Structure 1
């Protein structure tokens, strides 16, 4: 039952991380700033997560995991409540940074705890249950949060997320035992893994994939509003993307087992790049039909982009199973670094060009990820990572 509450925490974190894409135009209008400026709420969150997560993990290495989860969720909830009360952009940025620190500490800790509280034969399912909280958030939490924001204002969405975090915290407070293992990797161990050539290549691919996706997804609502989508239609589009992401996540795991992780990752990157290019093509050359046709590229991006992710995880584990937890932690930081760069790049595209150009730029980044992925050689045998100590 404790693993269920970890999944609820992941659901709250996933909802907050992704729902912002549908709220940016509303936040920008309310705070009287430009949409590209509001987009830095995404970049600051992602950059804080990427940098803060490993630092906090190392700093709190010797503290009971239950206590760490309570600290992480407290920071996450406090950040959301601060966002509710924020009267200006600077305070909202601060709130997003606090949320990111809480989320960046909570997620890797939750995955480690899910393994610690489960029997050996159920550990894989426990990890899958926790990560399913993120996937379900894209299907249910994000459209719901966007809908609530359209009815009651964007601050109500942050209040909803704070409530979800509080529910998860209460469940974990009474459901988790004390004295859980403290096996977070040291800084030396992380650096040893990060110096491995195959790990560095994998992290570059993850950054380019995340960068390409968030160049467009950060400003998801901007081209849709230009097409005449109202809040309910944007929520529907987010639901389409979330459902596609859930399907892609399951499909990616299945294909990775049958076709191999590297082949599946290549297919996912190919489909995602195609979807992003199609996104711009539809907006530029089919303006009359784009109101309906745009849902096709959105669905394809969700399926293919998130089919890549479990395959990428599997390929990273193959590099050296004994160092996989450290490598996956670095991969999470790389993903959020890509999100941060993508949010900033998307803002630059909006400032200098047009919302219809977001897909071109994102597609080029994902295409670069595909080229790096293919260049590393599918037949190369990874060398083991030697960790000092």
Structure 2
């Protein structure tokens, strides 16, 4: 008999939708913020950079601190801080007050995200971990074409402060819902700091984090400069770019869900190799399309959709693999370390892609991205021989 998903899982989706929207939504109201606070646009842009850096560094650091607390308590408390931080951003009288609010929101989001993914993985019934992680991941993906555009529109219609009030409201709804429905998943038993830092010495975990870092660097390099790629292939227009971004969002959402199902059916390691290998192939197709001279928007849309399915399908299998390598006692710390790899890769993607364009032109961006994705595929571990597909994610001791 088919089991229905629990009512707390959509709340995890909503939680991750709010935290992901908070990171990227400011891009859509950047000029408005700069004008209102009387700073330059590049200075306003640092509100995005600081959020990403604090998030990346805060996730593994704070996970070590909060690993031993019940996950529902961590999520609800973290969301309350997240709500207060966004309210403070909405009320900020100046640039530095807004920057401080962004730092606090990033720290809270880092804790909440790690605890949410841990809850999705450990609260899933046997054989459904990948599906649960896929639903949670879909919340981050959906932010690209629901939360971010909605927040941008709201900021344009009612001022940039309204955007932060919206995020605070969504965070409050998620906190109340999780307080009432989230499963009781306890924290790890008290242990010395050396044991809680075991994922930092676990070569299997570090290898998977490197896979994530390289995949994020390659895939998000292509996404960051998608506008330039679209213009180069098909002449480009604002309407065409909007359509391509919508295509990325829909295909990415589908990819997150399908990757979760694949992780359950094939095992996380086999599905991870499938996703990373497919991602490398998709980027190679994007590079080939650019050099072929084919400027048909339909063909370009098909290639971009194919790429987005694999690009946003990474999280469920890589997180399932990391859970298996780290074991349940260090799960939150290990997943937070993976989030750190993801966000550091995001930062590298923009910088490296800009350097590639400056040296060789937009045509070499998908080539460089393909190279990074190929390295990621070569590092992706194979499934354990002799085990059925679903057994490759069985928890191992934290120091395995």
TM-score bracket, shorter-length normalisation: 0.7 to 0.9
C-alpha displacement at 1:207, in angstroms? Answer: 0.7
1:181 aligned counterpart, secondary structure: coil
Instruction: State whether structure 2 residue 119 is matched by structure 1 residue 110.
Output: no
- Cα distance in 2 for partners of 1:54, 1:129 equals 22
Aligned match for 1:242, one of 242, 249, 259: 249
- Cα distance in 2 for partners of 1:211, 1:367 equals 10
Residue ranges of structure 2 left out of the alignment (5+ in a row): 1-6, 386-391
Q: CA RMSD in A?
A: 4.3
- Cα distance in 2 for partners of 1:323, 1:183 equals 5
Cα distance change on mapping 1:217 and 1:365 into 2, 3 Å:
closer
Aligned match for 1:209, one of 208, 211, 215: 215
Aligned match for 2:349, one of 322, 342, 352: 342
- Cα distance in 2 for partners of 1:25, 1:349 equals 27
Hey, what does 2:335 align to over in structure 1?
Answer: 328
Tell whether the 8 Å contact from 1:142 to 1:239 is kept in structure 2 after alignment. no
Counterparts of 1:216-227 in structure 2, within 5 Å, are: 216-218=222-224, 227=236
C-alpha displacement at 1:101, in angstroms? Answer: 0.9
Hey, what does 1:269 align to over in structure 2?
Answer: 279
Hey, what does 1:7 align to over in structure 2?
Answer: 13
- Cα distance in 1 for partners of 2:82, 2:186 equals 23
Tell whether the 8 Å contact from 1:277 to 1:363 is kept in structure 2 after alignment. yes
Instruction: State whether structure 2 residue 362 is matched by structure 1 residue 370.
Output: no
Cα distance change on mapping 1:53 and 1:11 into 2, 3 Å:
same
Provide Cα deviations, 1:333-361, integer angstroms capped at 9, x if missing partner: 211221233344456678x579x63x734
Hey, what does 1:57 align to over in structure 2?
Answer: 63
- Cα distance in 1 for partners of 2:186, 2:329 equals 17
Cα distance change on mapping 1:76 and 1:293 into 2, 3 Å:
farther
Residue ranges of structure 1 left out of the alignment (5+ in a row): none
Hey, what does 1:163 align to over in structure 2?
Answer: 169
Provide Cα deviations, 1:21-60, integer angstroms capped at 9, x if missing partner: 555566567665345x555444322221122122222323
Provide Cα deviations, 1:76-134, integer angstroms capped at 9, x if missing partner: 22332333344655444433322211111112222344567676687665554433433
Hey, what does 2:238 align to over in structure 1?
Answer: 229
2:313 aligned counterpart, secondary structure: helix
2:60 aligned counterpart, secondary structure: helix
Hey, what does 1:200 align to over in structure 2?
Answer: 206
Tell whether the 8 Å contact from 1:82 to 1:95 is kept in structure 2 after alignment. yes
Instruction: State whether structure 2 residue 305 is matched by structure 1 residue 299.
Output: yes
Cα distance change on mapping 1:53 and 1:143 into 2, 3 Å:
same
2:144 aligned counterpart, secondary structure: helix
> Paired residues, what number?
377
Tell whether the 8 Å contact from 1:84 to 1:155 is kept in structure 2 after alignment. yes
- Cα distance in 2 for partners of 1:141, 1:211 equals 23
2:312 aligned counterpart, secondary structure: helix
C-alpha displacement at 1:74, in angstroms? Answer: 2.2
- Cα distance in 2 for partners of 1:310, 1:116 equals 13
Provide Cα deviations, 1:158-212, integer angstroms capped at 9, x if missing partner: 33222211211232344458x7512289643454333233332221121121123
Provide Cα deviations, 1:283-332, integer angstroms capped at 9, x if missing partner: xx78xx68877645543332221234434334445546667825333212
- Cα distance in 2 for partners of 1:50, 1:86 equals 24
Tell whether the 8 Å contact from 1:316 to 1:324 is kept in structure 2 after alignment. no
Hey, what does 1:251 align to over in structure 2?
Answer: 258
1:45 aligned counterpart, secondary structure: helix
- Cα distance in 2 for partners of 1:377, 1:124 equals 17
- Cα distance in 2 for partners of 1:280, 1:27 equals 36
Tell whether the 8 Å contact from 1:275 to 1:298 is kept in structure 2 after alignment. no
- Cα distance in 2 for partners of 1:348, 1:81 equals 37
